[in-house]
Amino acid sequence: MKTVYDFTVKDRQGQEVSLSAYQGKVLLIVNTATGCGFTPHYEPLEAMYKELRDRGFEILDFPCNQFAGQAPGSDAEIHQFCTLKFGTEFPQFAKIDVNGETADPLFAFLASEKPFEGFGKGLKNAALNKFASMNNKKYGDKTYIGWNFTKFLIDREGKVIARFEPTADMDEVKAAVVAAL
């Protein structure tokens, strides 16, 4: 059975990194953007990371510019923004695509394990669904991720156990992480 440990990604310097380096840890894998309405998620993500990393928790940050061009900077510029504005210390990887023919295989795998089920109910979620549908139409059946700050929770064996859309309450995300630890 395939796990996240079977994948290799690139770090900010373009070096290959096997996710097997994170074996035995609980992971939260997130596609991010620096100019998104959800960019403030960096703050609770970093707080969670600082609180839980000593218990075997890692956040893996993958910037993506496929959603309305909300991560236009270089890897270095994105990293500088995140560290200066939010004090992030968790690993940030090279900018990737998460949808379409150029989608990173990791995100195609994550989404196949936990497919998109919607952003939830309510006016804000309905508005995001409409905007995301227009943005993602060009990817057709290769639309794996609905929007920035989609989070995948991975257990210590490398299996995908939960998916949280950007509209999910961050307290709910943290509770799931704590339960997985």
How high is the mean pLDDT of the chain?
A: 90
| pLDDT higher than 90, residue 123 | no
What is the average pLDDT across 47-65? 97
Q: What is the pLDDT of residue 104?
A: 96
State the catalytic residues: 36
* Pairing mode of beta strands 160-164, 57-63: unpaired
- Mean pLDDT is highest, among 93-97, 117-121, 125-129, 132-136, for 93-97
Q: Tell me: pLDDT of 29 over 80.
A: yes
pLDDT tens-digit map of 157-169: 999 999 999 999 9
- Listed by start position, the domains of the chain span 4-180
pTM of the model: 0.91
At the second CATH level, the architecture of 4-180 is 3-Layer(aba) Sandwich (3.40)
